[in-house]
Amino acid sequence: MPNNQATACAYSNIAFIKYWGNRDHALRLPANPSLSMNLGGLFTRTTVRFSADLTADRALVDDQAMQGNSLARISAHLDYARRLAGSALSAEVISHNNFPAGAGIASSASAFAALSLAAAAALDLKLTEAELSAYARRGSGSAARSVPNGFVVWHMGTDHASSYAESIAPAEHWQLTDLVAIISTEHKATGSTEGHQLADSSPLQAARVATAPARFEDCVQAVLARDFERLARVVEHDSDMMHAVMQTSTPPLLYWLPPTVAIMRRVRQLRAEGVGVCYTIDAGANVHCICLPNALERVRAELHAISGVLEVRAAQVGGAAWLEG
Amino acid sequence: MPNNQATACAYSNIAFIKYWGNRDHALRLPANPSLSMNLGGLFTRTTVRFSADLTADRALVDDQAMQGNSLARISAHLDYARRLAGSALSAEVISHNNFPAGAGIASSASAFAALSLAAAAALDLKLTEAELSAYARRGSGSAARSVPNGFVVWHMGTDHASSYAESIAPAEHWQLTDLVAIISTEHKATGSTEGHQLADSSPLQAARVATAPARFEDCVQAVLARDFERLARVVEHDSDMMHAVMQTSTPPLLYWLPPTVAIMRRVRQLRAEGVGVCYTIDAGANVHCICLPNALERVRAELHAISGVLEVRAAQVGGAAWLEG
């Protein structure tokens, strides 16, 4: 336990098959399996230091001191590692995202993956990658997918230990790029944790969940075979299925803004013209445009030409979470 | 049979509970019951003349001669009345819409309602309103709802005779206005007849259909009680449910344009501020904003202020289809 301190980094990820809704909210056991690619270059770097000098947990995220629910969520996450290690030490957490908040990149996935890896290392827990992934899941479901390398599947599982993510192909397997069209930097009105709890209020969620395993298998095969047309169809369809559920929940969650629809339409037109691009949209207005290498510059130019697009950010496929130092 | 000729008029209608998908495509027996209000002032006027002088059916719609499939659909519709009357006479159909094509108002509902009423009268068929409505349904499902007065329910039924519409309240019952925000005058890429056939390709259609009767009952009660808040919630939710199915069918039908989403969001904001308005969207990009009388001028001004809104057209609740002369 060198200094009871460790620093870890983890990439954000974008889901090709979406996670929306839980079968167990407390454990964040998802309603369906999901699949994602890590977003290379867009990461959270987190240092955790356990010390007898501290009287309570404290956390700085992007130089801001966490309080209330935000701090409680981090403390609760550290508790799990402390229980495993038999430790009662308080911790200091210092975390930085190398991408701006509100830039359309989910930070909770990379944040809880990095926090889990750093906390486990600081307490000298010898966790397997699957155990780390399951641990990260407890903090934020999609964080489970930011632990392994490249293209990642999250097995829904039936309990804590069986609900973890693993790589189906490393980052080098397929040179895809996510061009994130940023059209809103507003904080979302409904956060993901709350959103997952609304999923079952939609009359359509059961049908989405029932058909998700088939989309998941289709997407696994598309990734393994590097079949972009197949990938594009299932990725867009699965995104549309999630937003169908969101938009029909009570209260309805309409995350799209006018430029969101403009981009969806443009991306479909481009693909019909033979350009290797498809869209996927998370719980927000920004659009992730997954591109083949030869489509990249064309798509970037097209996105910049759409009214309401503030910025376009590029990410290639990222690797696994890693320890520093 | 004075001259074997008759002229009839019928209003268009806007569905509060949507019709999307059939249990029998040939008979246009719908997958779920629906509810609409007629759109006063927006009507089709149709003259049908059967004559031994004609060697084949012919039809002029807004001064344009129908050919091919369009003419065949009209002829097939007339065949039903001819069979009932034991007539073999060909017919001349002259039809005018008093609203421009592509103005965001469905014309097939008013057109087939007027055609049915005129054809039945020209052949001196003594049909009840329910029989006329069922007849109109064979030409275009929503035409069944343009036959009765005011606020209309279409019973899905189990065969031709039992699938008809009837009024639950006359036009005078509730002074609502439909402000149609017109944002596209393009002809739709996928027509309704084809769209209905795609409904079952969505994994969400079965759940939409299964829950439609409860929304239908809720909407009936909201109309009867003139409960606008209740109406607004169920009308928007039902519209969202239909578009969820459309957007997840294969191929996906994304009818919305960027201003569609801008209007949906603005309407919801306005209602949260206490303005009596809700939206509903058919198989197109235009948005029907159903307003209470005291909300009308505010909503009209707000719609004109939204980028992409070309025109705003108003319709009050309309009465039943009627014979002229």
Give chain A as a 3 state SS string: CHHHEEEEEEEEEEEEECCCCEEECCCCEECCCEEEEEEEEEEEEEEEEEECCCCCCEEEECCEECCHHHHHHHHHHHHHHHHHHCCCCEEEEEEEECCCCCCCCCCHHHHHHHHHHHHHHHCCCCCCHHHHHHHHHHHCHHHHHHCCCCEEEECCCCCCCCCCEEEEECHHHCCCEEEEEECCCCCCCCCHHHHHHHHHHCCCHHHHHHHHHHHHHHHHHHHHCCCHHHHHHHHHHHHHHHHHHHHCCCCCCCCCCHHHHHHHHHHHHHHHCCCCEEEECCCCCCEEEEECHHHHHHHHHHHHCCCCCCEEEEEEECCCCEEEC
Q: Can you tell me whether residue B180 is helix, strand or coil?
A: strand
Pair A66, A185 in one domain:
no
Candidate from B203, B265, B268 with C-beta closest to A211: B203
Look at residue A321 and tell me if it is in a domain: no
Task: Please give the pLDDT value at position A187.
Answer: 64
Pair B22, B40 in one domain:
yes
Chain B residues in contact with A254 (beta carbon < 8 A): 261, 264-265, 268
Question: Long-range pairs for A248-251 at CB < 8 Å and ≥24 separation?
Answer: A248/A202, A248/A203, A248/A204, A248/B237, A248/B240, A248/B241, A248/B244, A249/A198, A249/A199, A249/A201, A249/A202, A249/A205, A250/A198, A250/A201, A250/A202, A250/B237, A251/A198
Contact assignment for A252 to B245 by CB distance below 8 Å: no
**What percent of chain B is predicted at pLDDT more than 90?**
92
Look at residue B324 and tell me if it is in a domain: no
Pair A163, A298 in one domain:
no
Task: Please give the pLDDT value at position B325.
Answer: 80
Chain A residues in contact with B265 (beta carbon < 8 A): 254, 257
Look at residue A72 and tell me if it is in a domain: yes
Determine the distance in angstroms separating the CA of B271 from the nearest CA of chain A, rounded to an integer: 14
CA B277, B281, B282: angle at the middle one, nearest 5? 145
The span from the CA of B272 to the CA of B50, in Å, is 55
Candidate from B236, B248, B261 with C-beta closest to A244: B248
The span from the CA of A230 to the CA of A26, in Å, is 35
Determine the distance in angstroms separating the CA of A257 from the nearest CA of chain B, rounded to an integer: 6
Look at residue A299 and tell me if it is in a domain: yes
Nearest CA in chain A to B264: A254
DSSP conformation letters of B200-224:
GGSTTHHHHHHHHHHHHHHHHHHHH
CATH code for the domain in which residue B240 is found: 3.30.70.890
Contact assignment for B261 to A265 by CB distance below 8 Å: no
B110: CB partners within 8 A, 6+ apart: B10, B11, B12, B13, B42, B43, B44, B97, B143, B146
Residue at a domain's end among B113, B147, B171:
B171
Pair A283, A235 in one domain:
yes
Chain A residues in contact with B247 (beta carbon < 8 A): 240, 243-244
Helix (H) or strand (E) holding B71, with range, is helix B68-85
Pair A17, A140 in one domain:
yes
Look at residue A148 and tell me if it is in a domain: yes
Candidate from A203, A260, A261 with C-beta closest to B211: A203
Chain A residues in contact with B208 (beta carbon < 8 A): 203-204
Instruction: Please say if the pLDDT value at position A272 is more than 50.
Output: yes
Candidate from A210, A261, A268 with C-beta closest to B258: A261
A169: CB partners within 8 A, 6+ apart: A150, A151, A223, A224
| Across B137-146, average pLDDT | 97
Residue scoring higher pLDDT (A33 or A187): A33
The span from the CA of A219 to the CA of A231, in Å, is 6
Chain A residues in contact with B198 (beta carbon < 8 A): none
CB A290 within 8 Å of CB A177? yes
A-interface mutation test, from B20, B261, B279, most A Cβ less than 10 A away: B261
Task: Please give the pLDDT value at position A184.
Answer: 80
Helix (H) or strand (E) holding B307, with range, is none
pTM: 0.95
Task: Please give the pLDDT value at position B272.
Answer: 98
Contact assignment for B204 to A206 by CB distance below 8 Å: no
Contact assignment for B241 to A248 by CB distance below 8 Å: yes
Look at residue A220 and tell me if it is in a domain: yes
For B80-118, how does the pLDDT look when each residue is reduced to its tens digit (9 = 90+)?
999 999 999 999 999 999 987 665 677 899 999 999 999
**Among A residues 186-215, those touching chain B with beta carbons less than 8 Å apart:** 203-204, 206-208, 210-211
Q: With the C-alpha atoms ordered B79, B81, B85, B88, is the resulting torsion angle positive or negative?
A: negative
The span from the CA of A257 to the CA of B164, in Å, is 39
Chain B residues in contact with A206 (beta carbon < 8 A): 207
Task: Please give the pLDDT value at position B1.
Answer: 45
Task: Please give the pLDDT value at position A104.
Answer: 62
Task: Please give the pLDDT value at position B271.
Answer: 98
Instruction: Please say if the pLDDT value at position A193 is more than 90.
Output: no
Task: Please give the pLDDT value at position A194.
Answer: 86
Mean pLDDT taken over chain B: 95
A98: CB partners within 8 A, 6+ apart: A41, A42, A43, A44, A45
CB A166 within 8 Å of CB A276? no
Task: Please give the pLDDT value at position B3.
Answer: 77
Instruction: Please say if the pLDDT value at position A106 is more than 90.
Output: no
Residue at a domain's end among A171, A198, A223:
A171
Instruction: Please say if the pLDDT value at position A68 is more than 90.
Output: yes
**Among A residues 252-271, those touching chain B with beta carbons less than 8 Å apart:** 252, 254, 256-262, 264-265, 268
B-interface mutation test, from A236, A246, A261, A267, most B Cβ less than 10 A away: A261
CB A318 within 8 Å of CB A172? no
Task: Please give the pLDDT value at position A325.
Answer: 80
Contact assignment for A260 to B261 by CB distance below 8 Å: yes
Determine the distance in angstroms separating the CA of A192 from the nearest CA of chain B, rounded to an integer: 20
Chain A residues in contact with B244 (beta carbon < 8 A): 204, 244-245, 247-248
How long a stretch of residues is chain B? 325
Compute the half-sphere exposure of residue B143: CA atoms within 13 Å on the CB side of its CA: 29
Return the structure tokens found at B28.
């246009």
The span from the CA of A238 to the CA of A219, in Å, is 10
Instruction: Please say if the pLDDT value at position B211 is more than 50.
Output: yes
Nearest to B70 by CA among B79, B60, B80: B60
Instruction: Please say if the pLDDT value at position A2 is more than 60.
Output: no
Compute the half-sphere exposure of residue A150: CA atoms within 13 Å on the CB side of its CA: 14
Is B9's Cβ below 8 Å from some Cβ in A?
no
Look at residue B321 and tell me if it is in a domain: no
Look at residue A211 and tell me if it is in a domain: yes
Pair B268, B161 in one domain:
no
Chain A residues in contact with B251 (beta carbon < 8 A): none
**What percent of chain A is predicted at pLDDT more than 70?**
97
Lowest mean pLDDT among A195-199, B113-117, B147-151: A195-199
| Across A232-250, average pLDDT | 98
Chain A residues in contact with B250 (beta carbon < 8 A): 237
Pair A45, A112 in one domain:
yes
Is A306's Cβ below 8 Å from some Cβ in B?
no
Contact assignment for B247 to A248 by CB distance below 8 Å: no
Pair A13, A148 in one domain:
yes
Task: Please give the pLDDT value at position B223.
Answer: 98
Total number of domains in chain A: 2
Determine the distance in angstroms separating the CA of B264 from the nearest CA of chain A, rounded to an integer: 9
| Across A15-24, average pLDDT | 97
CATH code for the domain in which residue B36 is found: 3.30.230.10
CB B147 within 8 Å of CB B8? no
Return the structure tokens found at B8.
């009839």
For B221-238, how does the pLDDT look when each residue is reduced to its tens digit (9 = 90+)?
999 999 999 999 999 999
CB B7 within 8 Å of CB B46? yes
Task: Please give the pLDDT value at position A188.
Answer: 64
Pair A108, A34 in one domain:
yes
Residue at a domain's end among B171, B193, B221:
B171
Is A18's Cβ below 8 Å from some Cβ in B?
no
Pair A155, A210 in one domain:
no
A175: CB partners within 8 A, 6+ apart: A292, A293, A316, A317
Nearest CA in chain A to B306: A258
For B51-90, how does the pLDDT look when each residue is reduced to its tens digit (9 = 90+)?
999 999 999 999 999 999 999 999 999 999 999 999 999 9
| Domain region containing A286 | 177-316
Chain B residues in contact with A308 (beta carbon < 8 A): 258
Pair A139, A88 in one domain:
yes
Pair B253, B183 in one domain:
yes
